[in-house]
């Protein structure tokens, strides 16, 4: 089974202290990159959460947002740390005597000082386990969503691989006809130039042209890469990087096939192959 790197999942749980909710979004990325947005009081848990993510995901860029809504209403009055406020005011007054034309300090400036207004922070210790368990369940949903998207991608990949195999077979079967077409073209050219070609010389020239236009090796490698891609699709674990390498190899064989083509049908097949391989490559970029 393959997994897409694109997915979304959300989850919520209610505890005595309030409601916790996770929102997870992933997009494709070369490696696993996680970005957390956590409420005050939960930021010390980021490393713990990051390790949980690493057990479930191997590649992709994850944006994870945790929200906490306390069960008790927000206090209608401010709780001020009066000692800290007095210290801020006293320090500002001392500095004002040392400055020329100091800007006046308002009450709002004092309130904005960190720690002057006491926040009603939640009891994080009691919320660690619920938040972690919710993250695990939300990650499981995310993985399931990525698996469903991966199944859709795999079906598309299998279809394109089948089309590539058909094109390779058609080019291989058309090879004898291509040699006959070259022989006919040589005879017609000789007739136009009023030159009498000896049968032996004609076959020698034809052999040289056929060797230059021989694409059997490219077709064999193309078939081998298709088989290896199908095998990778059935492997366990992340296979995105392996598939990306195989797409490069497929594209290389298609380019060589086009450069050695001596028949219009082979040239068209090479172009069709490149289109199919590009479609494969675009989807492979999104596989974990």
Exposure class string for 97-122: b at 16+ Cβ within 10 A, else e: eeeeeeeeeeeeebeebeebeeeeeb
pLDDT band at 104 (very low <50, low <70, confident <90, very high): confident
Question: What are the structural domain ranges in the chain?
Answer: 7-74+124-147, 75-119, 151-284
Please state, in angstroms and rounded to a whole number, the distance separating the CA atoms of residues 229 and 208: 34
Model confidence, pTM: 0.72
Contact 157, 283 (CB under 8 A): yes
Other C-beta atoms lying within 10 Å of the C-beta of residue 287: 27
In this structure, what token pair is assigned to residue 236? Answer: 């366990």
pLDDT tens across 5-39, in order?
999 999 999 998 899 999 999 999 999 999 999 99
Rounded to the nearest 10 degrees, the angle between the axes of helix 240-260 and helix 216-233 is 160
7-74+124-147 in CATH: which number? Answer: 3.30.230
What whole-number distance in Å separates Cα of residue 175 and Cα of residue 168?
11
CATH code of the domain occupying 151-284: 1.20.140
Q: Do domains 7-74+124-147 and 151-284 have the same CATH topology?
A: no
What confidence tens digit (pLDDT) does each residue in 208-219 have? Answer: 555 555 677 888
Range 42-70 average pLDDT: 95
Judge whether residue 172 has pLDDT over 90: no
Average pLDDT over residues 29-57: 94
């Amino acid at each position: 089974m393959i997994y897409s790197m694109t997915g979304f999942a959300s989850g919520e749980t209610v505890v005595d202290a309030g409601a916790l909710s996770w929102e997870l979004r992933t997009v494709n990325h070369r490696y696993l990159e996680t970005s957390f947005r956590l409420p005050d009081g939960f930021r010390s848990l980021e490393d713990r959460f990051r390790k949980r993510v690493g057990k479930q995901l191997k590649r992709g860029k994850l944006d994870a947002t945790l929200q906490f809504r306390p069960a008790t209403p927000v206090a209608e009055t401010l709780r001020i740390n009066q000692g800290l406020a007095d210290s801020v005011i006293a320090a500002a007054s001392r500095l004002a005597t040392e400055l020329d034309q100091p800007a006046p300090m308002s009450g709002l400036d004092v309130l904005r000082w960190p720690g002057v207004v006491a926040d009603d922070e939640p009891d994080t210790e009691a919320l660690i386990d619920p938040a972690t368990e919710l993250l695990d369940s939300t990650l499981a949903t995310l993985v399931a969503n990525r698996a469903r998207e991966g199944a859709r991608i795999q079906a598309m990949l299998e279809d394109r691989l089948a089309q590539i195999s058909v094109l390779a077979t058609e080019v291989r079967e058309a090879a004898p006809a291509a040699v006959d077409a070259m022989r006919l073209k040589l005879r017609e050219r000789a007739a136009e130039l009023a030159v009498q070609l000896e049968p032996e010389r004609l076959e020698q020239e034809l052999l040289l042209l056929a060797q230059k236009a021989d694409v059997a090796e490219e077709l064999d490698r193309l078939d081998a890469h298709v088989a290896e891609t199908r095998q990778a699709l059935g492997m366990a674990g992340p296979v995105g990087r392996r598939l990306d390498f195989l797409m490069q190899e497929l594209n290389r064989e298609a380019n060589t096939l086009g450069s050695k083509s001596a028949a219009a049908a082979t040239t068209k097949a090479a172009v069709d192959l490149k289109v199919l391989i590009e479609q494969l490559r675009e989807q492979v970029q999104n596989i974990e």
